[in-house]
Amino acid sequence: MRRNLLFFLFFLVISTFSYSQTDGPRKPPKNKPSGSAVQKVGNFIDVNTPGYTQSSYSITQLVKDVLISSGTNTCVTPTVSNVKITPNHAVTDADRSWGYFNQGTTNFPFKDGIVLSTGKARRAGNS
């Protein structure tokens, strides 16, 4: 019995080493341009810019007035009642994870819309 146990443990250790993952060499991180080098690329969309009245809308107002009723859809008044977002930041919070974007001076394919982010929505416009 003892001999079988040693034999089993030996093969268990050998199989653990043979099926284990090995760390390959790490690649050096790529250099990213920062600061003014990024800003020189071109124009950017405006996200939560105070110049647009929609930037001060609540999340329910954004869904109702921008997402659903935006554009030429003026004959339907939407009924929106169950809009939930977590964490629910105040409209005045600059670091909220949702917001309004406008095309600005770019050739972005959408005129305006809603930004939902896992981080800070104001960073979506690269400003």
Nearest Cα to Cα of residue 85 among 73, 75, 93: 93
Q: What is the rounded CA–CA span in Å between residue 116 and residue 114?
A: 7
So what's the pLDDT on residue 74?
Answer: 62
Concatenating the DSSP letter of every residue in 3-38 gives HHHHHHHHHHHHHHHHHS----PPPPPPPPP-THHH
So what's the pLDDT on residue 38?
Answer: 46
Residue extents of the structural domains in the chain: 35-125
Residue 45 pLDDT > 80: yes
So what's the pLDDT on residue 93?
Answer: 83
